[in-house]
Amino acid sequence: MESKDLEQLGLNKNEAKVYFGLLKKGQATAAELVKSVGVHRNIIYDNLEKLIEKGLVSYILEGTKRKFIAEDPHLIVEFLEEEKKAVENKIETARGFIPEIKDILASQKEKQNAYLFRGVNGIKKILLDVLSSKEFWVIGVSNASVEALGETFWRNFNAKMKAKKIRENLLFNHDFKNVVNITPSKFMVHKILPKELTHVTEILIYDNKIAITVYSKEPIGIVVEDKEVFRTFKQQFTFLWGLAKK
């Protein structure tokens, strides 16, 4: 097998080269890959990040250095298979979700900024924005986000959260299964919503912004930036926190 054969998995030429080089080593630092693959360091770093997003590469920290690990390529096949599953109920959720957003926007006196994000990469952009905050709150954490973005993405995201010491306040849906090993700490607290209060959308509250995501066949995220909307959703979180259980 050669690196070009991996392009059949949907990788571009450089992604295939970097992944193939890492496959042959199993684990390697970026500097080691520069030597073995024979391409510029910027190409190595850029494509390692792309491969991490695809779930084909993860990393561990050894001191201050990152050591990258080649993951089994069956993960990308599983992701493609999941996209084929029926999502009619989530599409209906998205349709019912639009009037809610319109009501919020119509009730505000100040000028607001609203942004629409589509697809897995769009949702990841929202989450990268969350990483710039000092604290955030989430209503309705569900396994739909894990299924859409992958366990590897969430493990890496949670590692970045801990490294940045960002405070997390999470309200899980009652049926959430902790497959990505979210653990309580002085920077993370959580409670579980009653079954009757299960949310079909995930609501992220941070930095005077509200991000409402629907994990349908093509995930949709709407971010509203407005102080009053932020305050209103913070109040909703506080109310639900009082009803939730540890």
- Tokens describing residue 11: 């990788």
Mean pLDDT score across all residues of the chain: 83
Q: Do both 117 and 232 map to the same domain?
A: yes
Same-domain pairing of 99 and 199: yes
Domain tally for the chain? 2
Check which CATH number belongs to the domain holding 67 and give it: 1.10.10.10
150 closest CA partner among 223, 40, 71, 209: 71
pLDDT in tens, 203-224: 999 999 999 999 888 899 999 9
Q: How far apart are CA 68 and CA 29, in angstroms?
A: 6
Q: Are residues 41 and 64 in the same domain?
A: yes
The verdict on 21 and 121 lying in the same domain is no
Tell me the mean pLDDT in the region 51-56.
Answer: 82
Domain span at residue 30 reads: 3-80
At which of 35, 62, 80 does a domain end?
80
34 with 139, same domain: the answer is no
Residues 99 and 167 in one domain: yes
Per-residue pLDDT, 178? 73
Is the pLDDT assigned to residue 233 strictly greater than 90? yes
The answer on 92 and 41 residing in a single domain is: no
Q: Of 31, 57, 80, which residue sits at a domain end?
A: 80
Q: Write down how long the chain is.
A: 246
CATH of the domain at 220: 3.30.870.10
pLDDT, residue 245, reads: 85
Crossing angle of helices 30-37 and 13-25, rounded to 10°: 110
pLDDT digits (tens, 9 = 90+) for 136-156: 999 988 888 888 888 888 888
Domain-ending residue, one of 80, 99, 127: 80
> Taking the model in full, what pTM does it have?
0.52
